[in-house]
Amino acid sequence: MRHTMMRNVVVIMLFLACECQTEAADVPKELEARLIALEKLGQDVKSVVEELRRENEAMKTSLNVAVVKAEKQQQQIKQLEATMHQFSESKVAFSASLLSEGQAHTGPFLNDTILVYKKIRTNSKQAYNPKTGIFTAPVGGVYFFTFYAHSQNGVKMAVSLMKNGAVQCSVYDHGPVHNANAQNSVVLTLDKGDQVYTRLWSQSWVYDDYNGYTSFGGFLLFAV
């Protein structure tokens, strides 16, 4: 009986010893498995970081392209606005005849006198002043001007086109004919604010009526 019990104890101890060895052997395997898992996780994280880095570089490139494109578009918009502004500013023209109604001679005067054309046909930008007879350039550019003068009964007729007080061209007639007409034109380069008008010479006359014989006009050819 006692021998049997000892044998059983020995068997149990041997079993426990084997079990402990098995568990001790399993510990390195579990650590190795965990290390492998951690290494794989590290590789996965590295791959994700690398992918994020590539995506970030791609986003930077796309952003730079977008910025360059936006700047180019902004320049195009500014150029278009400048072109539209220039086109708007280029719409400068006026035309007027001397009398708004009736018929009459103007002059003679003791001194040279600015002719004031009162019957307005066109006056874009309101550059021509019907109270003073003076055209003021709203924008710098090259302008075309023309004027006509008419006289009756052989009286002296003389008119000059002026730019800022300086004579640019003139018309003149003084003969025995009953009616006389004269016309002249000029192309002028004006700065903004320059003034152009016609001036009747002293001791001379012009005639006008509803037909608009005596007139003055001009327009902007192109801005500079």
What backbone phi and psi angles, to 5 degrees, belong to 55?
-65, -40
Range of the domain at 104: 92-223
Tens of pLDDT, residues 147-174: 999 998 878 999 999 999 999 999 999 8
Tens of pLDDT, residues 77-126: 777 666 566 656 678 999 999 999 999 999 999 999 999 999 999 999 99
Q: Are both 136 and 199 inside the same structural domain?
A: yes
CA distance 170 to 159: 6
Q: Are both 120 and 34 inside the same structural domain?
A: no
Give the chain's mean pLDDT.
Answer: 84
Longest dimension (CA), the chain: 174
Q: Are both 42 and 120 inside the same structural domain?
A: no
**68, 89, 110: which is the final residue of a domain?**
89
Task: Tell me the average pLDDT across 178-187.
Answer: 92
**89, 113, 137: which is the final residue of a domain?**
89
CA distance 128 to 125: 8
Q: Are both 42 and 64 inside the same structural domain?
A: yes
Q: Are both 100 and 194 inside the same structural domain?
A: yes
Task: Tell me the average pLDDT across 180-195.
Answer: 97
**66, 89, 112: which is the final residue of a domain?**
89
Q: Are both 84 and 118 inside the same structural domain?
A: no
The CA-to-CA distance between both ends of the chain, in Å, stands at 130
Helices (H), ranges, the chain: 2-89
Q: Are both 2 and 63 inside the same structural domain?
A: yes
Q: Are both 111 and 214 inside the same structural domain?
A: yes
Q: Are both 78 and 96 inside the same structural domain?
A: no
Amino acid found at 78 = K
DSSP per-residue letters across 48-73: HHHHHHHHHHHHHHHHHHHHHHHHHH
Q: Are both 105 and 213 inside the same structural domain?
A: yes
- Whether the CB-CB separation of 107 and 205 falls below 8 Å is answered with yes
Which pLDDT band, with edges at 50, 70 and 90, does 10 fall under?
very low
- For the chain, how many structural domains are there in total? 2
* Residue 201 DSSP label: P
CA distance 47 to 41: 10
Q: Exposed/middle/buried for 117, CB within 10 Å: 0-12, 13-18, 19+? A: buried
Q: Are both 193 and 85 inside the same structural domain?
A: no
